[in-house]
Structure 1
Amino acid sequence: MGAKKIGKQTVRLSEGVRIISAASTVSKKEGEGPLGKYFDKVIEDSMFGEKSWELAESRFIRENMELAVQKAGLKMKDIDYLLCGDLLNQCIASTFGTIDFQIPFFGLYGACSTMGESMSLGAMLIDGGFANHTLVGASSHFCGAEKQFRAPLSLGNQRPPTSSWTVTGDGAVVLAKKGNFPCITEITTGKVMDMGITDANNMGAAMAPAAVDVLVNHFQDTGRTPQDYDVIATGDLGDIGRNLVVELMKKEGYTMYPTNDKGGQFTDCGIEIFDKNAQDTHCGGSGCACSAVTFCAFFYPKLMSGEIGRMLFIPTGALLSTTSSQQGQSIPGIAHGVVIEGCGGKEGK
């Protein structure tokens, strides 16, 4: 294999790919949560003035991606490739949301891990010399996701305690070769993991094994431990999923300290984005936009300031569909790990 491949699942980029801008646009509920002040735009109307939830999601994508490019000091014509995805069938939110950009397009589906997938592939394109700038992101919409995967909101179905709340919004970053910005240095690509979970309202349990697989392989490939990172943030495991990761990692010989413990570094974007008690989100947040907007709004500024020296970002996804669920199949999970070095750097291996 090439010199960039280290270990089983990790690649180390040649010089690091810079994240030169990040933009986040969310709806009212996300704006009322703990991270409300960090988002670029909070849209009070989750319909965003459109006729359907699906069209609204496309507008979240369009306007937020335009904002990301604007914040980078670029124009759409400067972008070589666009990579993004969503939860809707055939990624229609992304297709219709970006159609006017007329940029070479890779539509991605990694469920709620899509932000990690898009960042990984966008960085690889630049590191491989195939692009100077890539625009990458992910989106979701609570109402569209509920209608597609569970039940339309008008039915008033009761949500079980294990359920999470799909984030409405879009997160996007612009990647480039150079500049004094946080940079992606390593990528650990996950495998599809299936532990037999069948409950579509318990995404955390379905995705936790995929996060553990990425963590273990990343540490083995790089020779690092969890303590070599200022922050390890999984995607949208919520409380149940994060607790499972801590338990499973302990069996693998690694101690993961949650951020609510003194000196802890392990958190989850689904926990950060909502106040689960005040906002009645049960286990926390989920959806492609969960890790995307949390990274763009909350973690990226800390990487820019040097408050975070090294971060391991692991969006997680549940690879189910209405067809597979109706046919009684289990829910496989996937996760993608991205190492991001802050502007202040971090000493260590």
Structure 2
Amino acid sequence: MLQGYQSWAFQNRPVITGVATVVGPEEGAGPLGDDFDIVHGDMLLQQESWEKAERQLMDEAAKLAVENAGLTKEKVQFYVGGDLMNQIISSTFAARTLAIPYIGIFGACSTSMEGLALAAMLTDAGYANDVMAGTCSHNCTSEKQFRYPTEYGSQKPPTAQYTVTGAGAAVVSRNGKGPVVTGATIGRVIDMGIKDPFNMGAAMAPAAVDTMQAHFKDFDREPGYYDLIVTGDLAKVGYDIANELLIKHKIPIHQTTYNDCGLMIYDREKQPVIAGGSGCGCSAVVTYGHILKKLIKGDYRKILVIATGALLSPLSFQQGESIPCIAHAVAIESGVN
């Protein structure tokens, strides 16, 4: 049901019955490496191109998530997915392999929570029993498309982020056991006029805070309601800006633990990731691989994940446009009363 102005409250408490994460070598070498289901030792995954490798990441995560949910793909009514590639081809080709009715979405790096929110809405409303949400990214495909090809070896500024090579998928069901999705807030497009594609954190931070404010207002909550609030991939620069904006808007974020997936997935002191992680796979693999494990274990009971996305394209950048951004929030609880 509609909650406030831009949020949904899921009265039937859709259940996350199965998740899976597949990552590349840098992600496996980071502090969360043990929490991922599959860690590949090379960026090509024995494929002919980086694009085909990214598709393989999504194929593996989707297949394993369905298995972990105790289902076969024939039992999954819909697959809601997207990615960063032009025309979301990684997700589309994965959907071709899965042969599951497909809803393609694009929210840039916010796609993980956009997909999870839509999957929860479909099951909560009774339009499906089991829906899979998934997304992926690959460092080399993203660099090639949005910035400079990896082979070019261009020097990057301190504000730049390192796109996560990884895929995450979750099966959301009307019935079952697991963490429950209790609500979602759909973000607005926020554009502060930033044009630098090497400064995604600064561009996305205002959208993250705007969605956070909307969520707290719509649900009449304060940050302390949650044990953990985590943004998608602001990394160091965006995380610092978000904290400043939260103080400016008098949001008492000190009531809870606030972190960012782009800071959690890598060790910035030891890995060549500059400001931290980004990409569709960033919030997906951190949430499904690490955070949900802690929720199931009992370290957290209530979490809020706000995935952020920069809605630029090579075309808009070449035409001198600024970077519109968005953030979608999903509230997840342990399911234990």
Query: TM-score, normalization: structure 2?
Result: 0.98
Contact 1:306 1:344 in 2 (8 A): no
Matched positions, count = 337
Contact 1:235 1:316 in 2 (8 A): yes
1:198 aligns with 2:198: no
Amino acid at match of 1:338: V
Q: Show the counterpart of 2:273.
A: 281
Q: Show the counterpart of 2:56.
A: 59
Structure 1: 4+ residue segments shifted above 3 A:
none
CA RMSD in angstroms, aligned pairs only? 1.0
1:327 aligns with 2:327: no
Question: 2:306 and 2:268 mapped to 1: Cα distance?
Answer: 21
Question: 1:157 and 1:97 mapped to 2: Cα distance?
Answer: 31
One of 150, 155, 160 as aligned partner of 1:158: 155
User: How far apart are residue 97 of structure 1 and its match?
Assistant: 2.1
Question: 1:106 and 1:170 mapped to 2: Cα distance?
Answer: 17
Contact 1:305 1:343 in 2 (8 A): no
Q: How does 1:182-197 map to 2 (within 5 A)?
A: 182-197=179-194
Query: TM-score, normalization: structure 1?
Result: 0.95
Q: Show the counterpart of 1:46.
A: 43
Secondary structure in structure 2 of the residue aligned to 1:64: helix
Q: Show the counterpart of 1:148.
A: 145
Amino acid at match of 2:221: R
Contact 2:129 2:175 in 1 (8 A): no
1:231 aligns with 2:228: yes
User: How far apart are residue 339 of structure 1 and its match?
Assistant: 0.4
Q: Show the counterpart of 1:134.
A: 131
Amino acid at match of 1:80: Q
Contact 1:306 1:343 in 2 (8 A): no
Give unmatched runs, 5+ long, in structure 2.
Answer: none
1:178 aligns with 2:170: no
Q: Identity across aligned pairs (percent)?
A: 45
Secondary structure in structure 2 of the residue aligned to 1:21: strand
1:302 aligns with 2:301: no
Question: 2:306 and 2:78 mapped to 1: Cα distance?
Answer: 22
Contact 2:226 2:256 in 1 (8 A): no
One of 8, 11, 17 as aligned partner of 1:11: 8
Question: 2:289 and 2:98 mapped to 1: Cα distance?
Answer: 24
Amino acid at match of 2:297: S
Amino acid at match of 1:306: G
Q: Show the counterpart of 1:342.
A: 334
Question: 1:10 and 1:92 mapped to 2: Cα distance?
Answer: 29
Contact 1:25 1:170 in 2 (8 A): yes
Give unmatched runs, 5+ long, in structure 1.
Answer: 258-262
Q: Show the counterpart of 2:84.
A: 87
User: How far apart are residue 256 of structure 1 and its match?
Assistant: 2.0
